[in-house]
A and B are shown apart, each in its own frame.
Chain A
Amino acid sequence: MSRLLPYSALALAALCVALVAGTAIGESNLAPNVVYQVLANHLWQAGYPVDPIDAGIVWNYRLTRTLVAAACGAGLATCGVILQALLRNPLAEPYLLGLSAGASTGAVLVGLLGLGSVALSMSGGAFIGALAAFALVLVLARAAGPSSNNAQVILAGIAGSQLFTALTAFLITKSATAEQARGILFWLLGNLSGVRWPSVWLALPVALFGLVVCLWHRRALDAFTFGADSAASLGIPVRRTQLLLISCAALVTAVMVSIVGAIGFVGLVIPHALRLLLGPGHSRLLPASALGGALFLISADILSRTLIPGQVIPVGVVTALIGAPVFALILVSRRGRP
């Protein structure tokens, strides 16, 4: 326990530095003291006179998107850890269960049917679509055989993803113009620019909830790493635990996808990288992955805002640009290991 303290302090410090960096760096150049004054005004009513536009940018645009980036990164990385452990497949990631494909279909439907002006935003559509796809995958997997069979879950996920991807393509070809498709694509590639405080109050608790549930089941997750049979022999209720954890991952992912779109590679690469560094024990792997995911997505978001001056690149493009080479590196460095 005494070894835990310095690590936790270090982790907290790293997170704080990243949050401040995410708030201080952005599309436009704001002096560091302006950023400090805005934060001080809000945190302890320092009462500095600040330009209201600058104040709004720092507090309502930058801080919110940085907090949501942290929550999404942490949430997606946690989900990646769970799915890789439960399914014992190195390619398992949060979107494996058809969630991102379902989210696209939901968002496109809202966009095309013009529901957008009535009740449902594209985010709402994406959330419903993601859960619908997940339900379909669950039903498929169950119909295909006993739930202890990992391959069936993975195959059901692939089938679900393909189906919903095809549906999206069908809807776009049928009724969208090129310009409309671009709008939807832009949204789907992952974008943090529409994030405000309500999103923060949704993303942070959900990410924490996911992390706590998983930490609660860390021993079970350790056991699942050796297969469902060994987990059963250790007295773990296999079916129930599996369903609970997968549903938890689906819920967290669906919420994140609906807030920021499908940001790839975080849920795949971060758990792998940290497993290589820390080993497979989930009591350390889970919090480390959550932190790693948060830091990774905050950095990616900073890059997405600063790479092209005056324009924002979808953050999903940045994570894939960094994520793909990192993943390749991990693959190469794993050569020769058991």
Chain B
Amino acid sequence: MLPRLAALIAGLGLTSLAQAAATHYPLTVDNCGMPQTFAHAPERAVTIGQAGTEMLYALGLGDKLAGTSLWFNNVLPEYKALNDKVERLADNDPSFEAVVGKRPQLVAVQFEWMVGAQGVVGTREQFDELKIPTYLLPSDCEGKDNLVGADGTRLQAFQVESIYKSVHQLAEIFDVQDRGAALNADLKGRLDSAKAHLAGKDLSNTSALFWFSSADLDIDPYVAGRQGVADFMLRTLGVRNVVESTEEWPTVGWETLAKANPTWLIIARMDRRRFPADDYQKKLEFLRNDPVTRNMDAVKNDRIIVLDADAMQAGIRLFRGLQTLSTAFASGKAAQ
């Protein structure tokens, strides 16, 4: 209750501060090294990637969306009614023409590999030729080289400021700066409350492991490396990630992971059913039955946290994930 109240107060405070600001067009936004110019607030936008989609919903811009694509999970329940009215161009990456066909005045993109130099959908230059501005979420381009490694390689650790920046810039583009300020205040409030929850707790010997999925159940799992979003969550809460690789989602053997013996295991819940291990129940079953992992401290003491996969991505859900983790870390018991 208290943290919510704090967030509300913080939100109100910032809202009143930001009230005065209105966007002056034409507006030029420097976005991932490509300046984009807007003559007026976009009336029709298309999103590629769930993070951007939900960010626009959170900014109250659902009625400006003409199409969405690249979904990982169901939309957040509070946006379901809104989302049902928007056409879903594709579950995965949409084709260039499907996007352009909506005559969008903005394409908001979550991942650079969708529209970067080797873009799956098309390159930003292609969109530019058709006078369609693209907005790439800064979290996927700042401090990250997307031409190296399967999921790109972060040159610097993920910065949460990049999310605030995208909220701020999207709000500026759509001339709803007060909503942007309020949303950012809410997100910051959640982060602060997650931290405050653990104040006074000694977590110096606490470690954790993020298990996303595995190509086959017994095989080396995809786990969170250093510098990514998942690692940022642990760092924020003062918990050590047992994986030291700087790749975003490296595969590491169970032998190494079991020997590292983390205090907490955090396993991803997702709607995707591509690999058996996508199902968090299967993950739990494996952890409790494998002759090695069932002896890990976290498994024996039931310190396994089930966390939405989207909370491990650079989007607004990350902040709820932080709160889930901090509640579990604080109580010493797993929250599911």
Contact = CB atoms under 8 A, between A and B. Distances in A.
Interface of A: 26-28, 52-53, 56-57, 59-62, 111-112, 114, 116-117, 121-123, 175, 177-180, 182-184, 186-187, 191, 193-196, 305, 310-312
A262 to B, nearest CB: 14
Contacts of B292: 53, 56-57, 60-61
A53 B273 contact: no
B220 A193 contact: yes
B255 A26 contact: yes
Instruction: Tell me the dominant secondary structure on chain B's binding face.
Output: loop
Contacts of A122: 215-216, 275
Interface string B232-268: 0000000000011100011111111011010000000
Given A28-B255, A183-B222, A184-B215, 16 more contacts: A26-B255, A53-B258, A56-B292, A57-B259, A111-B274, A112-B274, A114-B273, A116-B276, A117-B273, A117-B282, A122-B215, A178-B113, A193-B219, A194-B217, A195-B218, A310-B244
Given A57-B255, A111-B274, A183 B215 contact: yes
Contacts of A184: 215
Contacts of B274: 111-112, 114, 116, 180, 183
B33 interface: no
Given A180-B274, A193-B218, A312 B245 contact: no
Contacts of A117: 273, 276, 278-279, 282
Contacts of A195: 218
Contact of B251 (A177, A305, A312): A312
B291 interface: yes
Contacts of A178: 113, 120, 150-151
Given A53-B261, A180-B274, A187-B219, A305 B151 contact: no
Interface string B270-293: 000111101100100000001110
How extensive is the interface on chain B, given as a class?
A: 35 or more
B257 to A, nearest CB: 9
Nearest to A182: B150
B147 to A, nearest CB: 13
B245 A53 contact: no
B276 A311 contact: no
Contacts of A26: 255
Contacts of A310: 243-245, 252, 256
Contacts of A182: 150
B212 to A, nearest CB: 10
Contact of B92 (A56, A177, A312): A177
B31 interface: no
Given A116-B276, A175-B92, A311-B250, A194 B216 contact: yes
A117 B259 CA distance: 29
A121 B256 contact: no
B58 to A, nearest CB: 25
